[in-house]
Structure 1
């Protein structure tokens, strides 16, 4: 049996735009179900917002997201999580980095580090902090 862990990001009205950025950066297929599609509209102004969305890239990378309805509290907090994107290929990691840069704040430039041939951290224009690196084998503890 295989279990996959996928980050599920919560937004307030910008989930579609965020998922489109992630699709463009990571490649792959974008799936969006709106509140209207699911017959779950509570506020007519939010009918076209994302009730569930996902980017599924051929590389195996996946990100899910939704728009928290205005009837519920939402506080993104300060760095409540990182989305970690690890790849075996430096070109693939570099391409994802380039795709995420639009409007982002670079926390750590994408460059060689003491633990990876390539590592970087950025906060995208939606406030999501991404850690990207080339995965290497580490000895077991």
Structure 2
């Protein structure tokens, strides 16, 4: 079983996923707008046709899926109910990811030694998504 994260954005999904692909060294393997949906599917408002209906980012074993938020029953709420957790055994990689994601964001916990071993840091990026980055020590292998 694998855990995958699905993120919703408020009109800037394409920008955010491109940013994540760059920081994480991955690639966007699938991306479609609402206008790409078959005509037989649900009818979407004209103002969302250029927004992202689905995007998939693959970076090694990490898969992140996302879309622009479209829900007429509930307002968009920027990323306060989850965090994406990234684990690495490579310190350079962990530092690069943490520093990249923190650009323009808010660091809640600096990336530093953790009492359980390795290093750990928490942040909210410039898109409102919360991240936890862990450098695992060999006892977690």
TM-score normalised to the size of structure 1?
Answer: 0.85
Structure number having the greater strand percentage: 2
**What SS does the corresponding residue of 2:117 show, helix, strand or coil?**
coil
Determine the C-alpha separation between the residues in 2 that align with 1:35 and 1:124: 26
Alignment of 1:51-130 (within 5 A): 51-58=53-60, 60-69=61-70, 71-76=72-77, 79-130=80-131
Q: Which runs of 5+ in 2 are unaligned?
A: none
Give runs of ≥4 in structure 1 deviating > 3 Å. none
Partner of 2:15: 17
Determine the C-alpha separation between the residues in 2 that align with 1:97 and 1:132: 6
Determine the C-alpha separation between the residues in 2 that align with 1:13 and 1:70: 13
Aligned length: 135
Determine the C-alpha separation between the residues in 2 that align with 1:62 and 1:82: 14
Contact 1:107-1:121 at 8 Å conserved across structures: yes
Structure number having the greater helix percentage: 2
Q: 1:49 and 1:78, CA in 2 relative to 1: closer, same or farther beyond 3 A?
A: closer
Determine the C-alpha separation between the residues in 1 that align with 2:73 and 2:20: 25
TM-score normalised to the size of structure 2?
Answer: 0.85
Determine the C-alpha separation between the residues in 2 that align with 1:114 and 1:65: 33
